[in-house]
Amino acid sequence: MTGLCFVDANVLLYSRDPRDRAKQERANAWLDLLWREGNGRTSVQVLSEFFYNATRKLNPAVPASDAWSRVQIYFAWNPQPVDVALLGRAKEIVERWRLSWWDGLVVAAAEFQDCSVLLTEDLQEGAVFGTITVRSPFALEARALAPQYASEASAVSRHRPRGRPRRART
């Protein structure tokens, strides 16, 4: 894979959820790949969501001490803190792309960490938010994705330009 990849909480949760073995295996394959390549990134918000949901919503629940140990492992990815700058950028993202507040925070954190890929199941596969492309960890196998799964740096914007439309020359 080329470029940095931001990992959302749902990927971390699936890696610990035995109820869907296929998704668990796929999430773990992605996490293993990102560890090997050193391209994984996340945020304090994502780690908080993971801890809460792993200890309260997974069935069976992950013991708090195990969930905390997993959170601490991801400190190595230097998680993006939630601060005033992140909140401000998230507000801009929410207004521009009409995302939920929580998704806006995730996209802003990925942007602040210079990620080209946002690995999540919560947003539409292939959606582009500025320089970040959303990819589902369950669309393809991690090992099969290397170059094609990365965002194109020179991607053409899908948004209409501002101002009056130009007339086609005939």
pLDDT above 60 (res 80): yes
**What whole-number distance in Å separates Cα of residue 17 and Cα of residue 149?**
25
Instruction: Report yes or no: 100 and 120 within 8 Å, Cβ to Cβ.
Output: no
Average pLDDT value over all residues in the chain: 88
Report, as an integer, the average pLDDT of 16-36. 95
- Is the residue at 65 inside a domain? yes
pLDDT given for residue 141 in this prediction: 72
Q: For the chain, what is the domain count?
A: 1
Please report whether residue 163 resides in a domain: no
Q: What is the CATH number of the domain that holds 52?
A: 3.40.50.1010
Whether residue 83 is contained in a domain is answered as: yes
Residue 102 amino acid letter: W
Residue 89 lies in a domain: yes
Chain-centre distance of CA 116, in angstroms? 10
Lowest mean pLDDT among 62-71, 111-120, 147-156: 147-156
In a domain, 168, yes or no: no
- Give the percent of the chain with pLDDT over 90: 79
Residues 102-150 pLDDT 10s: 999 999 999 999 999 999 999 999 999 999 999 999 987 776 444 444 4
- Residue 56 backbone class (left: φ over 0; alpha: ψ -120 to 50; beta: rest): alpha
Output DSSP code: residue 124: -
